[in-house]
Structure 1
Amino acid sequence: MTKKGLFVSFEGIDGSGKSTQARRLADSLTARGYQTVLTREPGGSAGAEEIRALVLQGDPDRWSAETELLLFTAARRDHLERTIRPALAAGQIVICDRFADSTRMYQGLSRGDLRGAVDQLHELMIGQEPDITALIDMDPAAGLARAKSRQTVEERFEDFGVTLQEKMRAGFLALAQEFPDRIHVIDGNRPEGEVAQDVLAAVDSCLP
């Protein structure tokens, strides 16, 4: 990859397995000789990781959706400047666990109609979309149970309960219809290896 990198994102509700699939994809592509950068949101750079602790920990009502939107966008801008764009410029494959689609859902849809504000701020401050997005579709109750079983300190969104997860799943599927050329819906209610095969097949179509 000498001219242009490839930007791959993973999306889905909490507990959908996207983090595992992102790691598996990075391992598969690295084994095939590609230079890969595995990163995540919020986070992926020093400043963005500090913001991650603010938005993913604490009481569910710690921030309003509007404040979250500003925090997530600030984290994404730092991540973009310091990690994503330099890697793409170097011809590497960037594999990101969540990107702007999560903000379109969790802040734009979750607790009010902020989608317009999300898109305006994204256009103004980010201006970057993945080349391809793997949406791991998962049963909300099963995904939430999996997410809660991890018992980490980063459970602020999981603490909103299954109702939010159901709303987010429907929203992600609608988003896939909005961006059908970019977002590939992959059934996550199957063994990990089968999901990984479908992810790799989707990404293969974009590789040089």
Structure 2
Amino acid sequence: MEKMRSESVAVYEWLVDKDHVHWSKAYFKDTAVYDMLCNNMCEAFNKAILQARDKPVITLMEMIRNYLMKRLVRKRAEMEKWNHDIRSNVFKVIERLKLESSICHPKYSGNFHYQVRGPGDDQHIVDIDKKTCACNRWQLTGIPCIHGISALLSSNCDLIDYIHNKYKKDNFIKAYAPVIYGINGSRMWSKTNDNPL
């Protein structure tokens, strides 16, 4: 916080006024297993439906349905090209973290626990059975941190087994398996006795 104050007193005072559970990763719950702090997904969806937003409700819904139908087809096709059992961007992160973990020194203490000394004499406890590290990054992201990777590599574990299931191909296949079927044009829709929209 002192470093924050030296950068900007206004930001420091604003943060001090707020409950730390809302802005500090140290206090985030690890149940979400997601490292994003912004609303990129909402913004991406809003951008995708931008042309549809000012349309009448049925046209709006039809444009969204078409967008989602194409997206599901595209995602299923992308998954067919996966070379690994995890997303390619996660695989790249793991490869980078493997290199970074080479500066760590794990010491096995028993019962799946490791004491891992990292850069700058930093030291963390890793429990590979529970997939946790004292730095909390593994719990927050679902991807082992450099301390976790160091411990896993020293025990000859397959890193893929210790990545959260949400990044695995099987779960992506399940998520994108539903089909949004095409529908006939409005001229072929059933007529009702209700008032038109």
Q: Which TM-score applies when normalising by structure 2?
A: 0.23
Q: Which TM-score applies when normalising by structure 1?
A: 0.22
Higher relative contact order (CA closer than 8 Å, sequence separation 6+):
1
